[in-house]
C-alpha cells in the first residue's frame, strides 16, 4: 500500500518552518508521497477556537517565544523569533505555492522551504512580490509566471482550506496520514513511527 501524507500548513508559521525540512526527510526515508496543501488559518481559526497571535493572552505569547528559542537551539537552525516582517499576510505566499502544483510536490516543497526561510531566517517580507519571485527562482520556477498564476489559484486555496476544516485541522503544521492527524512539528516522531508500520 502506498504511503501518502497530506501536509496542511501556513507559510507564515514558525512551527511549519521548524518542521519543514525534517518532515521532507522523514517522508523521503519512509517512501511517502507528500500532498502539499497550504491553507488559510484566518478562516480555520475562527471555526476551531484558535486565535491569531496578537489576540492571544500575554502569557501565551511569552511562552511561544520561549518555545521558539528552545526549538531553535535544539534543532540548530537559524530562526529570528520576532522577525521584522511579522505578523504578515501569508496568503500571497500560500497562493504561489498552490499555483506551483503543476510542477509537482517536490518543487512545491522547495518553494515552501525558500519562502519559510525568507521570513524566519532572512528577514524578508513574504507578502512582497519581489521576495516571492526570488523564492520561485530558488525553486527553479519562473517567478513572474507563478505570480500571474497565483490569482487563478484562489479557488483551489479555498477548497484546500475547506478540506482541512472537514478533516479537523486546526493548527499549523498538520500532517494527515491515513485517518490520523499529527498536529505540530513536535509530533514528527509520531508520524515517523506511523509511516514505519
What pLDDT is attached to residue 52? 87
Q: C-alpha cell of 168?
A: 479537523
Tell me the per-residue pLDDT of 6-23, one tens digit each, with 9 for 90 and over.
999 999 999 999 999 999
Angle at which helix 143-150 crosses helix 91-99, to 10 degrees, equals 110
Tell me the per-residue pLDDT of 22-54, one tens digit each, with 9 for 90 and over.
999 999 999 999 999 999 999 999 988 898 888
Using CA atoms, how far residue 23 sits from 82, 174, 175, 190, 197, in Å, is 23, 11, 9, 11, 17
- Using CA atoms, how far apart are residues 79 and 9, in angstroms rounded to an integer? 18
How confident is the model over 76-96, as a mean pLDDT?
Answer: 97
DSSP alpha helix (H) spans, the chain: 14-29, 41-48, 58-75, 91-99, 105-120, 129-138, 143-150, 154-167, 188-196
CB 7 within 8 A of CB 175: yes
- In three-state form (DSSP H/G/I as H, E/B as E, the rest C), the secondary structure along 97-137 is HHHCHHHCHHHHHHHHHHHHHHHHCCCCCCCCHHHHHHHHH
CB 63 within 8 A of CB 104: no
Domain residues of the chain, as ranges?
A: 3-196
Tell me the per-residue pLDDT of 90-139, one tens digit each, with 9 for 90 and over.
999 999 999 999 999 999 999 999 999 999 999 999 999 999 999 999 99
Q: C-alpha cell of 162?
A: 475547506
Which three-class secondary structure state does DSSP give residue 71?
helix
pTM for the predicted model, two decimal places? 0.96
Which three-class secondary structure state does DSSP give residue 7?
strand
Q: Is the pLDDT of residue 1 over 80?
A: no
Residue 89, Cβ neighbours under 10 Å: how many?
Answer: 12
Closest to 79 (Cα-Cα) out of 138, 125, 20, 17: 17
3-196: CATH architecture:
3-Layer(aba) Sandwich (3.40)
Amino acid at each position: 500500500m502506498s504511503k501518502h501524507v497530506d501536509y496542511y500548513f501556513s507559510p507564515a508559521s514558525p512551527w511549519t518552518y521548524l518542521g519543514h525540512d525534517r518532515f521532507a526527510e522523514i517522508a523521503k526515508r519512509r517512501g511517502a508521497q507528500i500532498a502539499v496543501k497550504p491553507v488559510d488559518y484566518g478562516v480555520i481559526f475562527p471555526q476551531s477556537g484558535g486565535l491569531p497571535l496578537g489576540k492571544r493572552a500575554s502569557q501565551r505569547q511569552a511562552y511561544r517565544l520561549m518555545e521558539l528559542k528552545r526549538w531553535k537551539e535544539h534543532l540548530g537552525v537559524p530562526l529570528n523569533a520576532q522577525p521584522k516582517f511579522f505578523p504578515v499576510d501569508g496568503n500571497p505566499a500560500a497562493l504561489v505555492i498552490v499555483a506551483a502544483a503543476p510542477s509537482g510536490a517536490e518543487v512545491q516543497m522547495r518553494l515552501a522551504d525558500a519562502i519559510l526561510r525568507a521570513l524566519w531566517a532572512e528577514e524578508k517580507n513574504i507578502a512582497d512580490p519581489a521576495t516571492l519571485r526570488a523564492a520561485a527562482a530558488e525553486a527553479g520556477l519562473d517567478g513572474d509566471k507563478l505570480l500571474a498564476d497565483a490569482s487563478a489559484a484562489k479557488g483551489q486555496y479555498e477548497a484546500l482550506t475547506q478540506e482541512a476544516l472537514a478533516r479537523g485541522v486546526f493548527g499549523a503544521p498538520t500532517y494527515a496520514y491515513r485517518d490520523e492527524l499529527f498536529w505540530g512539528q513536535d509530533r514528527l516522531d509520531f508520524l515517523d513511527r506511523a509511516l514505519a508500520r
